[in-house]
């Protein structure tokens, strides 16, 4: 907020860019092309530091035969979601929602198995200034709604990445669903005895591919730079000739 004589004006853009964080213009629909699948959140800007407001693009497409999914996301920081465009979506274009700290996550499509249906939206979260920010995945019994499985994690903690920062929440999605799927005892409701089916872990789901590809991108960049450094270093003989 700045004062302008007798008037007070709100300035949404800082007078000068923050060092190392230049303003970025993004075509959100262009990002859809690079999205790896369902249930992937793609930060649209390269800034996920402490205090950052992080809008993430998410898109869902109907897939024939896809396993229905629904789980609860527990977050200590509230999220907002805006539907940019949809066809057969559970939200309508332009609709904005402030999500509860504990909220359901699903395909946002009336018919998740209809390939003509799609949804493109932005989910925005604020990264706190503390070194720990807790989120959780909660799975409930399909029969009695009792909590069957819950896992909480620090979304600021994960493998160190030199070149491309990782959005760690997706790694914990994968780890949580794999833990749940690989232990049949975790899927049995302690209240009514019903078994919850395994969670989707197929190639249609972006968190699976993202977790793999972020590792490849960083390892590949590191190997490429080492190779380039060796090629740029002159041979001993050539160095001696240059000195003479």
Q: What is the pLDDT of residues 14-60, one digit of tens each?
A: 566 677 778 889 999 999 988 888 888 999 998 888 999 999 999 99
122-131, 152-161, 235-244: the lowest-pLDDT one: 235-244
At 12, list the tokens: 């949404």
> What's the whole-model pTM score?
0.79
Sequence spans of domains, the chain: 24-232
Most confident of 14-23, 49-58, 145-154, 162-171: 145-154
Determine the CATH number of domain 24-232: 2.60.120.10
pLDDT at 5 over 50: no
At 186, list the tokens: 């975790």
Q: What is the mean pLDDT of residues 173-178?
A: 92
Q: What is the mean pLDDT of residues 66-82?
A: 91
**What is the structure's pLDDT at 61?**
92
Distance CA 11, CA 2 (A): 7
The percent of residues in the chain predicted with pLDDT above 70, rounded, is 88
Q: Specify whether the CB–CB gap between 108 and 88 falls below 8 A.
A: no
At 72, list the tokens: 């609860």
């Amino acid at each position: 907020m700045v004062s302008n004589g007798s008037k007070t004006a709100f300035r949404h853009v800082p007078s000068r860019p923050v060092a190392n964080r230049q303003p970025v213009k993004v075509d959100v629909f262009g990002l859809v092309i690079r999205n790896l699948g369902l249930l992937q959140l793609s930060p649209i800007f390269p800034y996920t530091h402490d205090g950052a407001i992080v809008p993430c693009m998410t898109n869902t497409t109907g897939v024939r035969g896809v396993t229905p999914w629904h789980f609860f996301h527990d977050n200590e920081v509230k999220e907002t979601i805006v539907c940019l465009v949809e066809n057969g979506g559970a939200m309508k274009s332009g609709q904005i929602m402030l999500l509860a700290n504990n909220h359901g996550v699903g395909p946002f499509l009336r018919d998740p198995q209809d390939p003509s249906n799609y949804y493109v939206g932005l989910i925005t979260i604020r990264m706190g200034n503390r070194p720990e920010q807790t989120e959780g995945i909660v799975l409930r019994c399909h029969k009695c709604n009792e909590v069957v499985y819950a896992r909480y994690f620090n979304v600021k903690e994960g493998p160190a990445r030199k070149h491309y920062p990782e959005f760690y929440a997706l790694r914990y999605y994968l780890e949580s669903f794999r833990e749940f799927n690989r232990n049949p005892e975790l899927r049995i409701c302690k209240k009514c005895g019903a078994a919850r089916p395994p969670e989707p872990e197929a190639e249609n789901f972006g968190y699976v591919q993202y977790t793999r590809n972020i590792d490849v991108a960083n390892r590949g960049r590191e190997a490429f730079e080492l190779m380039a450094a060796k090629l740029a270093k002159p041979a001993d003989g050539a160095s001696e000739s240059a000195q003479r």
